A and B are shown apart, each in its own frame.
Chain A
Amino acid sequence: MIKQLYQDWIKGIWRNNPVFVQLLGMCPTLAVTTSLINGIAMGCATCFVLVASSLMVSVIRRLIPGEVRIAGFTIIIATFVTVAELFLAANFPLLSKTLGPYVPLIIVNCIILGRAEAFASKHSPIRALADSFGMGVGFTLSLVLLGSIRELFATGGIIGTRILPASFENWVVMIMPAGAFLTLGFLIGLFNMIESKLKSHKVTMSQGHMTQVKNS
């Protein structure tokens, strides 16, 4: 049971990472990751909506008739998004100003409806919780990675602390849309490279094991 939950959780972070593997939710991923703080805020807001709506969908999954399930999920998601938006505006006015229209756009983020439809509506609340939390953490980590790389090269530092030497000329392109595509492309490439290395490693391991078995 614990192992199952761990599996549900961990797949969102690596094997089924929503950004680098499933390529879902590209709009907020590309648009708001101009800085680390923006990445964290967007990631957390999405994670909250994802977990809350997955849990809710899973709890009432047997009550919603199949024909109107998408409409039902959308009501639930939209409610949580509005709650998150109002909460941000009430407590972090600066953040909500920079994130602008992208917070309400979480409603149409395909990760959330995707997880509701593909997982939460078919599994128990506790498994839906593990799955959505894993996806939320995976999404947040990806946005943090993108945001910090872009901020580092665009401003020479992170959150106002200079990291690169003073002779480094800031790459303004990194903060613009083109920089988002460049960074995302390189990261997906890196992700695939590591993944295929791991895979070939596993294959040689098991082959080695096979020959050993034969020899004995």
Chain B
Amino acid sequence: MKKTLHMVAVLMVLGFISGFSLVRMEEYAAPRIEAHRREAVEASIYAIFPKGKSYKVLELGGREIFEVFGSSRSPIGYAFTGKGKGYQDDIVVMIGLYPALTRLAGIEILRSVETPGLGGEIVKPFFKNQFQNLSASEPIRYIVGRAPASDSEIQAITGATVTSRSLVRILNGEIEAVAKLLRQK
């Protein structure tokens, strides 16, 4: 009995000390982590809209849409995040649309753990810059083996067709959903 009590007491004291120090650590880290997350989101918005100077958060249909402003008072575009299955895990992407909602301003990959050297190449300019000024009025298509012929086509990455297809699927779904919300506004 005495032994059991001793065991319980030691573990309780250890757990208490551990919990206490973790709370202190969390208090120190949480605001910094939140600030970094916000910075990453902001950086991606301004990477898509280099002329952007400020943004306003719109809450539409339960999702956050960033209305981006330049030097004038009318918005120069909308940015929003999209998320979906990639080849290995979820891909999170920031998508930019021009105000008319018919053309993409560009995309920025916020999170991806695709195969390095293959699917991982989606974060590189040569791939993501293909989305700049792409038509958004019809679904985006990815193509293999020839140069894009229309302005709603992008070239898939060799050896990473699954990643290219997933990304295009995420974009098409999210663009349609958000454009609908913005038109209803």
Contact = CB atoms under 8 A, between A and B. Distances in A.
Interface string A92-111: 01000100100000000000
A128 interface: no
B11 A68 contact: yes
B18 A75 contact: yes
A78 B6 CA distance: 22
Interface residues of B, number: 24
B1 interface: no
Contact of A90 (B7, B15, B33, B113): B33
Interface string B8-38: 0011001100100110011011001100100
A65 B10 CA distance: 8
Interface string B49-79: 0000000000000000000000000000000
Contacts of B145: none
A90 B32 CA distance: 5
Q: Which of A63, A90, A93, A176 counts the most B-chain CB atoms under 10 A from its CB?
A: A90
B155 to A, nearest CB: 19
Interface string A71-92: 1100110110011001101110
A83 B22 contact: yes
Interface in B109-124: 111, 113, 115-118
Interface of A: 34, 63-65, 67-68, 71-72, 75-76, 78-79, 82-83, 86-87, 89-91, 93, 97, 100, 154, 170, 172, 175-176
Interface of B: 3, 6-7, 10-11, 14-15, 18, 21-22, 25-26, 28-29, 32-33, 36, 40, 111, 113, 115-118
